[in-house]
Structure 1
Amino acid sequence: MSFDLAQRLTEILLALAFLQQSAEHLAGPQAARAMFLTRAALCLPLLAGIQSDWILLALSIHSIAVLHRYNGPYNGGSDRMGLLVLYCLTLSHWLPTGYASHAAFGYLGVQVILSYFISGIVKLANPAWRNGHALRDVFAFSAYPVAENLRALQGHPRLLQSASWGVIAFEVAFPLSLASTPALLIALPLATAFHLANAVLFGLNRFVWFWLAAYPSILWLQPQVLAAL
């Protein structure tokens, strides 16, 4: 994947992610509604590819106001990933063409890979994840909107333990997908399916779009890594 194409795909996916996030505030307080309507308005030209460099700079400045309003990324990991994508993409447009812009965009890909790997290592070190109790507690006690019929899964410890190890193995092994293009083309749909499952089961819908927005950086980064080896 070329650098320009990866940048453009990231712009489109990030705009869609921010539009989804902004829509959640349409029924909120007036101040929040105005703030996120501004973000949504900025996303429309980004989606169309109009003056992307200036629009991204405006979105970056706007994000500072959002951070101040909510005393940080108010929705945790998904908002942090959204800001990471935004800032790396903005830098890749405004830094000098070549090594500097490529480094900013490649940094995004590295951080996405590390987000899976570190999450897997943390789970591997946690006995509650290794024995399946962490997933059991999610289905049994979580405030996430899990359907009542899915709560019955807490009574299947072997299934939950197998699922736990499946998630751990996938996350820890994710960096190996850089070894070949076919491996990466398998890993990214699996990662997407993982986020979609989290959205359906637990309502973590923001993770889908923000992580998808970061995937073009990995598709661009992978051949650069192979070429450097």
Structure 2
Amino acid sequence: MPFELALRVTEILLALAMIQQSLEHLATERRSRWIFLARTGLCLLLLLSGIQPAVTLVPLLATSLLLLHRYQGPYNGGSDKMTLLILTCLTVSRLAPERYAELAFAYLAAQLLLSYFTSGWIKIINPDWRSGAALRDVFRFSAYPVSESLRGWADRPRVLQAAGWAVMLLELAFPLSLLHPLTLMAALACTAAFHFSNACFFGLNRFFWIWIAAYPSILWLQGRLIG
């Protein structure tokens, strides 16, 4: 994927993901509603290809920093951190000279790769994940399942153990997907399906959209490395 195309697709996907995040807050948040209204407007501008992206990326980054202060950190965990990471890398890529622009975008791709590998490593050294107990506890005791009927999955230990191992192996093997364009496409399809299942089972919809927004960076990096 060419560099400029990868940047533009990332901007579009990021804008859509941030609009979704902002609309969630507009329905419930009153104190900081103006920030989310501003973010929504800026994201709509970012979607318009005729407008210089840096003009909207810089104030979008500023709103993210304001929200870090407002909530005393990335209150929504990994999805907020990934949003800030993508915003920062895109802003640098649009403002910096070409050499540093590519380095910033490559850093985003590297962080995406590490997010999967590190997650898989943390899981596989945990005996509860290897035995399937971790997933059983999530379904049985946590507040994550989006409906009470899903708690019945806790009574399927072999299925959950197999699912846990599938996730761990996918995450640990993800760096190897860079060896060929087809393996990378297959790996991204599998990880997207993994995030989608988390959204369906546990309501983690933000992770699906914001992680997808980072995928163009690794598609570009893979082409850059083997091209």
TM-score (norm 2): 0.97
For residue 33 of structure 1, report the CA deviation from its aligned partner: 1.5
| Aligned residue in 1 for 2:132 | 132
Aligned-partner Cα distance in 2 for 1:128–1:145? 19
For residue 159 of structure 1, report the CA deviation from its aligned partner: 1.0
Matched, 1:6 2:17: no
Q: 8 Å contact 1:27–1:33 — kept in the other structure?
A: no
Q: 8 Å contact 1:78–1:210 — kept in the other structure?
A: yes
Q: Which amino acid aligns with 1:69?
A: R
Aligned-partner Cα distance in 2 for 1:159–1:29? 39
Aligned-partner Cα distance in 2 for 1:164–1:28? 34
Distance 1:37 1:208, change over 3 A: same
SS of the residue aligned with 2:139? Answer: helix
Q: 8 Å contact 2:145–2:151 — kept in the other structure?
A: no
For residue 156 of structure 1, report the CA deviation from its aligned partner: 1.3
Q: Which amino acid aligns with 2:213?
A: A
SS of the residue aligned with 1:30? Answer: coil
For residue 74 of structure 1, report the CA deviation from its aligned partner: 1.0
Distance 1:145 1:163, change over 3 A: closer
Q: State the Cα RMSD in Å.
A: 1.0
| Aligned residue in 2 for 1:214 | 214
| Aligned residue in 2 for 1:46 | 46
Any stretches of 5+ residues in structure 2 without a counterpart? none
For residue 148 of structure 1, report the CA deviation from its aligned partner: 2.5
For residue 162 of structure 1, report the CA deviation from its aligned partner: 0.7
For residue 131 of structure 1, report the CA deviation from its aligned partner: 0.2
1:121-180 alpha-carbon deviations (Å, 9 max, x no partner): 000000010000000001001111432332111111111111110000000000001000
For residue 32 of structure 1, report the CA deviation from its aligned partner: 2.0
SS of the residue aligned with 2:76? Answer: coil
For residue 225 of structure 1, report the CA deviation from its aligned partner: 2.0
Aligned-partner Cα distance in 1 for 2:145–2:159? 21
Matched, 1:192 2:199: no
| Aligned residue in 1 for 2:77 | 76
| Aligned residue in 2 for 1:96 | 97
| Aligned residue in 2 for 1:30 | 30
SS of the residue aligned with 1:71? Answer: coil
| Aligned residue in 2 for 1:17 | 17
| Aligned residue in 2 for 1:67 | 68
| Aligned residue in 1 for 2:116 | 116
Q: 8 Å contact 2:198–2:204 — kept in the other structure?
A: yes
Matched, 1:141 2:156: no
For residue 28 of structure 1, report the CA deviation from its aligned partner: 2.2
For residue 223 of structure 1, report the CA deviation from its aligned partner: 1.7
Distance 1:139 1:119, change over 3 A: same
Q: Which amino acid aligns with 1:79?
A: D
For residue 23 of structure 1, report the CA deviation from its aligned partner: 0.3
Aligned-partner Cα distance in 2 for 1:58–1:86? 10
Q: 8 Å contact 1:132–1:157 — kept in the other structure?
A: yes
| Aligned residue in 2 for 1:157 | 157
Aligned-partner Cα distance in 1 for 2:167–2:30? 40
Aligned-partner Cα distance in 2 for 1:75–1:172? 25
